[in-house]
Amino acid sequence: MLTDLYIPGDSLLHRARPAWKLAILFLYCTALFVVTHPVVLTLGLLLVALGYGAAGLSPRDAFTAIRPALFVLVIIFAAQLWLAGLSMAVYVTLRLMALLLAAALVTYTTRASEFTEGIMALLSRAPAWVPKDKIALAMSLVWRFIPLIRAQFDEVREAQRARGLERNMLALLVPLVVRTLKTADEVAEAITARSLD
């Protein structure tokens, strides 16, 4: 979910209206939480797998989507195992995975500009003092810069590994924070230069 928020394609899911996708995602999540039954969960997992297939996404894309959360999933699994037993632990973990996969399916198939347009449409009734353009721009910047910051992190880690410092938190964080701040400055400047307001 962190490396690629959008994967270009031309499937039905790619072409569907973002508002519909979000509405279905909402229903999907609610259903999985409200109806606690293995059959519903199985159906839910099946549905999400079908969705990935229909969107032309690979199992690797699916794994990429849950990889950042693996650590949390393991902790939840362990806690449930200890508190409620094996079957509950499996159930809860799988359900969380289904939700993550479904959310990623929506971001995988929706362009940032579609999201921002959707948000703009939702905000069209908001009062005039709400900075609609700025909110939309901030949203698209998140889309653009999560991968960039992640790439910077990988670069810094590689450079520090070459110097034998990969276990030193400070050696990783200081350059990353400095670069991120500098990036933010330059980006703000570029936005000023590229837009007229």
Partner 1 sequence: MSMHFDRVSVTKGTREILSEITLELTESRIGVIGNNGSGKSTFLRLFNGLEKPTSGMVRFSDTEDDLRRHVGFMFQNPDNQIVYPLVEEDLAFGLKSRKLPKAEVAARIERVLSDLSLTHLKGRLTHQLSGGEKQMVALAGVLVTEPEMIVFDEPTTLLDLRNKMQFMRVLATLPQPAVVVSHDLDLLAGFDRVLHIAEGGIYADGPPEEVIPAYRKLCEDLGGC
Residues that bind partner 1 (CB under 8 A): 4-6, 8, 111-113, 137, 140-141, 143-144, 147-148, 151, 183, 186-187, 189-197
CB of 87 to partner 1, least distance (A): 41
Measured from the CB atom, the residue of 47 and 146 that comes closer to partner 1 is: 146
Measured from the CB atom, the residue of 43 and 139 that comes closer to partner 1 is: 139
CB of 115 to partner 1, least distance (A): 10
The rounded distance, in Å, linking the Cα atoms of 88 and 42 is 14
CB of 118 to partner 1, least distance (A): 14
Measured from the CB atom, the residue of 158 and 186 that comes closer to partner 1 is: 186
* Residue 172 DSSP SS3: helix
CB atoms within 10 A of CB 3: 14
CB of 108 to partner 1, least distance (A): 12
Measured from the CB atom, the residue of 50 and 151 that comes closer to partner 1 is: 151
Measured from the CB atom, the residue of 55 and 98 that comes closer to partner 1 is: 55
CB of 181 to partner 1, least distance (A): 12
**Residue 87 burial class via C-beta count within 10 angstroms: exposed 0-12, middle 13-18, buried 19 and up:** exposed
The rounded distance, in Å, linking the Cα atoms of 185 and 181 is 6
In degrees, rounded to 5, the angle at the alpha carbon of residue 62 between the alpha carbons of residues 93 and 89 is 5
Q: CA 195: distance to chain centroid?
A: 28
Among candidate residues 34, 52, 30, the one with its CA nearest the CA of residue 106: 52
